[in-house]
Each structure stands twice: as C-alpha cells, then as structure tokens.
Chains A and B, each alone.
Chain A
Amino acid sequence: GAVVSQHPSRVICKSGTSVKIECRSLDFQATTMFWYRQFPKQSLMLMATSNEGSKATYEQGVEKDKFLINHASLTLSTLTVTSAHPEDSSFYICSAISSAGGPYSYEQYFGPGTRLTVT
C-alpha cells in the first residue's frame, strides 16, 4: 500500500517550452502533497506544499509563476515548469501524506522522481 507514482520518469524539452509533471497517490487519498527538487549530489529542497482544493504554499525563493502547482483532487497534484530554461534541469520528487488520519497521518510517501533535462 501507499504507492505514489510520477509521470513522466524522464523528460527532455527545449528551452522556452513548458513541462507538466504528474504525481498520483495510487491507493490512498492525499490531502497534502509536497514537491521537492534535488540537484546532483545534494539533498532534497522543498519547493512547495500543496493541499487539495487550495493554493500551494511556496518556499522562499521558489518562483510561483514559474513552477505552477495544482492539487485538483485527492489523488493528483501536478507541477508545471513554465518557460523552462537549462537551469531548471533537475530531479523533481513528489510526496504525499494520507488523508486517512490515524497513527501514520504524518508519514510522507515518495514518488520515484522525474528527471527533467532542458536543452
């Protein structure tokens, strides 16, 4: 149980185009989802926290107009990188917290990540 998927796993796009990354909780409903960015050989950097039906909360320094996050349902959150540039190339990881509550209501379940390369 508690499986999170991401699609696509890898994407290459041209500079100036937009890319959408999907994060889905497959067997549970997620009130809260997180989006992380990871540079090579570095730790995860939290980009934003999204709650279903409300606007995402972005971390300081993250451009909300560039990284559009939509948490339209309890099982799907999307991250759209708009007008991508080579410096946006990175590994993007999402995670989700179950809305079921109970003793594991704090635990984040991670997706496998999406490798974005902007040429």
Chain B
Amino acid sequence: AQSVTQLGSHVSVSEGALVLLRCNYSSSVPPYLFWYVQYPNQGLQLLLKYTSAATLVKGINGFEAEFKKSETSFHLTKPSAHMSDAAEYFCAVSVMDSNYQLIWGAGTKLIIKP
C-alpha cells in the first residue's frame, strides 16, 4: 500500500530564506509524485511532478523537488521565500494499478515572516 508522510504541519521561514518542505513516501511500485499548493478557499494548483524521468524536478514559482529513491523522499525546496508563497502545500503519490488515485499527505502550512 502507498502512503505519504509530510513532516511538520507548519513550517515558518523568514522572507528571503530557504524553504524546505519534507515529504516521504511508501510505495511497492515505482511511484508518481506530486506537490500541490492550495491558497485559502481555493482549489489545488500543481507545483511539480516526478514521473520517473529526471530526479530533480523544477516546477512553477521557483520551486523544485528531488526524488531520492534510497531515502524514499521527495522534498520541496525554494531558495528564497516570498510572502506570496504563504499557503498550504500537499505532497501526493499516485500509482498506476489504483486507477491513478492520489494518496495525500496531511499537508504543511508554510508561514512567511516579514
């Protein structure tokens, strides 16, 4: 069975500082991995995805994530936080043999301090 663990329900960083949001997954088959962002009272926006190609994935808004099979991790990073990055971030895993259902992490709220 697949599962996703996001470490830290809240992460607070100063504007301009490095953003690191952690995601670890468990999957018995090669996974597809996703990071989504959700602003208050809005739907989800895809930030980036890993689909077994390059292990370092670049996404929108300056975010990137690195797939590390040995660590079963897919951490999300951004070199310099902006106030507009304040939002909820969700990591998810999808597998082909389950109709591509997404298994979701609990989410991490990113707080940006001025």
- The residues of A with any CB-CB pair to B shorter than 8 Å are 6, 32, 34, 41-44, 46, 49, 91, 93, 97, 103, 105-108, 110-113, 115
Interface residues of B, CB < 8 Å — how many?
Answer: 22
| In the complex, chain B residues whose CB is within 8 Å of the CB of A107 | 46, 49
Given contact pairs A42-B107, A43-B90, A43-B107, A108 touches B102 in the complex (Cβ within 8 A): yes
Inter-chain contact count A-B, CB under 8 Å?
49
| In the complex, chain A residues whose CB is within 8 Å of the CB of B44 | 44, 93, 110
- The reply to whether A43 and B104 contact each other, CB–CB distance below 8 Å, is yes
Of the stretches B11-19, B72-80, B93-101, the one at the interface is B93-101
- The residues of B with any CB-CB pair to A shorter than 8 Å are 32, 36, 41-46, 49, 51, 90, 94, 96, 99-102, 104-107, 109
In the bound assembly, the distance between CA atoms of A34 and B109 in angstroms comes to 24
Q: Which residue of B lies closest to A93 (CB)?
A: B43
Q: Top 7 nearest A-B pairs by Cβ distance?
A: A112-B43, A106-B100, A110-B44, A113-B43, A43-B104, A110-B43, A43-B107
- The reply to whether A113 and B100 contact each other, CB–CB distance below 8 Å, is no
- The reply to whether A43 and B43 contact each other, CB–CB distance below 8 Å, is no
Q: Which residue of A lies closest to B49 (CB)?
A: A107
Q: Which residue of B lies closest to A109 (CB)?
A: B46
Query: How close is A67's CB to chain B, nearest CB, in angstroms?
Result: 17
Contact sample, A vs B, 17 pairs, CB 8 Å cutoff: A41-B109, A43-B90, A43-B106, A44-B44, A46-B101, A49-B99, A103-B51, A106-B32, A106-B96, A107-B46, A108-B100, A108-B102, A110-B36, A110-B43, A111-B43, A112-B42, A113-B43
